[in-house]
Chains A and B, each alone.
Chain A
């Protein structure tokens, strides 16, 4: 690997006996427990990172189950109340030939959260054992997950806006269902999970050159 060969010559902070503050970026010698500038705790590597990732991920998964089973929206139109779950809503939209919106809702509410679960779980899994994956690609994956994870909240925003706008009593009323809360929780948990992931772990393998021997 070209890149791996190139990077082999790089010296990491840990090799140099230094630790970088993750909050203010101050480089300090490793013997200090707290950053003298910002007061944050100093860790060369977060040895509890994977634990946190798994824990948040599990909580997010648990929250994601009712988010899909329970109705997201309670739409009341002329005495007629419709409760729709996320997937039900998507199928309704497809039924009404609103393919674009259906795709967006489906992407934001189903693809992204599930993709996030898978990606985070994959990263965390790789970090706990030897692997031969390219750290660059892993890092890109992590960046994408972190960036795109917040867009999952688009569903919750839609529900919140609709609920605020459509309140015409008998004529038409939209109320959030229990799934909205669960889904929001699920998104928050997965975001926390992604944040808990210490991306420096990706590169430790590179330093060790474990896949080269």
Chain B
């Protein structure tokens, strides 16, 4: 070779050596292999999850999270065979791969805006992610999963209980709606599911620990969704439990009665419409233990509804749960298949659920039948009734025809009810309601007319007038003047007597007594006649006593009002002059006597007069009796039952009040007015009437008596001496009528009584005046 001839550098022998540079590719390979090996070693398993749609899942981007920690990533997306789903191929972390077993579930977390807030907001920018959920025990690996459409109700790690709620279907529930307890959210609802028949909706509810400890068999759930509007006496109240409950629907629960048993997970509760309804049904027992039965009815006339009551011997034992048509395969007749649930304990089937069916079978064999019946006053509600018939064709509980055990049906009880209703309505129709109403209207009209009548309004005025009149009478100057006049009259009489006393007649009389002894004999002879005179005098005094003073005083007291007229009567004034005249004549008589020498006789007679005087005194002893009598009369006047009268008047008024509320009341005002008018007229009559006249007459007769006395003194001068004595006695008598006299006091008392009575009447009148309707309503 040419190369061997060429000069080579000294280092030429190194030619066969391997260059150190070869280490570089070796190193690179080693590093690469190491990296690849490490990657491979760390690589978790590949699983696939089926989704309905990709909806934002990107390969290489979308991650899988468990408790918000990334545990995998979507490596690839593909279609499932037949394009039925999207398969997301997910590379899991090796650390977590062992736990992804059968319990694992996956769902897509997307931004979600609901009434309860915004969730998954972080996914708005970062994109969706797949949430994984599995339990904490490793299990056999599963390659393929189907994603959930919604997040599961309970994720592993949530502490609490899951129960099943059953609703009749009219409650608006949605997934994730809150479960409240006393206004606090303690749980949430899962996805509502329709039952196979479509009549009920079941929904799982998750109650967080520790609130799930509150759940017992006595717990009741009720619907709180929507707005509760309540109009009552307290006003309008609008209740919204929570905004979330308003939109999504919500459930609240409460344990109404203590002492229930703890519930197992999956316990079925019913959802009631309202809390009240839930409370009403708290003793209904556990619906989960209810026997579910059915009955075929062929004469259904409508009215039975789902939720209707099932009754046994009048008590509610269950509810109708479903109504369906059923075609009898033999007769091709359409019947109504009623499914219902009853509480076995209320049917008397005992507590042991294993024996319920056997017990029911024997009950059916003994004549238990289901039939339609009506309830309510008018039979408007149709219920299913379980009845024990005594004589009925034998039948048994059929279990193989329908889904639920079939209870044989009995004769419907609806007809009787409708007949009863007819009868009741007929009876109501025949009630004389219109007449009743008319008379009621008439009565009310009458009352209204009475109350509004002018007569009724005039009553107080009339009463007032009457009282004013009475007051006028009593307080009039005439009455006062009458008393004054009486006093004047008395003083006149006194003066008269004084004149008689101070007249010279007495001295002359004494002188005459000294002088005329001779006369005494005559007088002695005359005195023989004196007893007769004394008797006459006695008779006079007796007559005086017998004089109808009582009547007079009663008349006077009755005619107090007319007294003024009496006193002012001119005839009374004539009495004075008459008396004066009679005195003058008396004086003249005495002068005559002096002249006549009769005085001597008189003097003589006077000596003998002691016995006569004794007689006279004994005669005049009757005068105090007379005065006593008069005072008795006055006392009797005093005792006159004026108070009683007033009380009776009061009673009368009370009775009048009572009468006012009695029928025939319209006539009363007129009658009362008439009465008042009559009362007025009678008072007027009292003022002007015969009583005064009679008093006048009496006084006139007294005057005539005086005149008679005058004539007597003219005709019988002898009497004068005795008349003198009589006058003294008379003075005494009249002194009895003096200001300090008892009679006067009594009379004043009587007048005071009258005044008090009038005062009482006036106060009554004032009361009526102030409060006229007290006449009607009472004080």
Contact = CB atoms under 8 A, between A and B. Distances in A.
A64 to B, nearest CB: 10
Interface residues of B, number: 28
Contacts of A30: 7-9
Contacts of A81: 61
Contact of B24 (A42, A47, A55, A78): A55
Interface string A79-98: 11101000000000000000
B19 A52 contact: yes
Given A59-B25, A208-B2, A51 B19 contact: yes
Q: Of residues B11, B12, B61, B125, which shows the largest number of chain A Cβ atoms within 10 Å of its Cβ?
A: B11
A44 B21 contact: no
Interface in B635-693: none
A141 interface: no
B25 A55 contact: yes
B44 interface: no
B24 A44 contact: no
Interface in A121-174: none
B14 A48 contact: yes
A14 B10 contact: no
B55 to A, nearest CB: 17
B28 A63 contact: yes
Interface in A13-55: 14-15, 17, 19, 30-33, 41-44, 47-48, 51-52, 55
Interface of B is mostly: helix
A32 B21 CA distance: 25
A102 B23 CA distance: 36
A48 B19 contact: yes
Contacts of A80: 61, 125-127
A31 B6 contact: no
A174 B12 CA distance: 52
A189 B15 CA distance: 23
A65 interface: yes
B11 A59 contact: no
A56 B6 contact: no
B24 A56 contact: yes
A32 B11 CA distance: 10
Q: Of residues B21, B61, B125, which shows the largest number of chain A Cβ atoms within 10 Å of its Cβ?
A: B21
A58 interface: yes
A66 interface: yes
Given A59-B28, A62-B28, A51 B9 contact: no
A75 interface: no
B283 interface: no
Contacts of A78: 125
A19 B19 contact: no
A156 to B, nearest CB: 17
B29 interface: yes
A interface residue count range (under 10 / 10 to 19 / 20 to 34 / 35 or more) = 20 to 34
Nearest to B29: A62
Contacts, number: 73
A31 B32 contact: no
A196 interface: yes
Contacts of B2: 208
A63 B27 CA distance: 11
B32 A66 contact: yes
A48 B27 CA distance: 19
B230 to A, nearest CB: 50
B542 to A, nearest CB: 145
A28 to B, nearest CB: 10
A33 B15 CA distance: 15
Interface in B232-274: none
Contacts of A19: 9
B17 to A, nearest CB: 7
B25 A58 contact: yes
B8 A65 contact: no
Contacts of A56: 21, 24-25
Contacts of A66: 32, 35
A58 B11 CA distance: 26
B40 interface: no
Contacts of A55: 19, 21-25
Contact of B17 (A31, A44, A48, A62): A48
A51 B21 contact: yes
B24 A59 contact: yes
Contacts of B21: 51-52, 55-56, 196
Nearest to A63: B28
B26 to A, nearest CB: 8
Contacts of B11: 33, 41, 43
B229 interface: no
B125 A14 contact: no
Q: Of residues B10, B125, B126, which shows the largest number of chain A Cβ atoms within 10 Å of its Cβ?
A: B10
Contacts of A48: 14-15, 17, 19
B6 A51 contact: no
A65 B36 CA distance: 12
Interface in B716-733: none
A31 to B, nearest CB: 7
B18 interface: yes
Nearest to B2: A208
Nearest to B23: A55
Contacts of B14: 47-48
Nearest to B8: A44
A51 B28 contact: no
22 contacts: A30-B7, A30-B9, A31-B10, A32-B10, A33-B11, A41-B11, A48-B14, A48-B17, A48-B19, A51-B19, A52-B19, A55-B23, A58-B25, A58-B28, A59-B24, A63-B28, A66-B35, A79-B126, A80-B127, A185-B28, A189-B24, A208-B2
Interface of B: 2, 6-12, 14-15, 17-19, 21-25, 27-29, 32, 35, 60-61, 125-127
The 10 closest A-B pairs by CB, nearest first: A58-B25, A62-B28, A55-B21, A59-B25, A59-B24, A79-B126, A47-B15, A51-B19, A33-B10, A79-B125
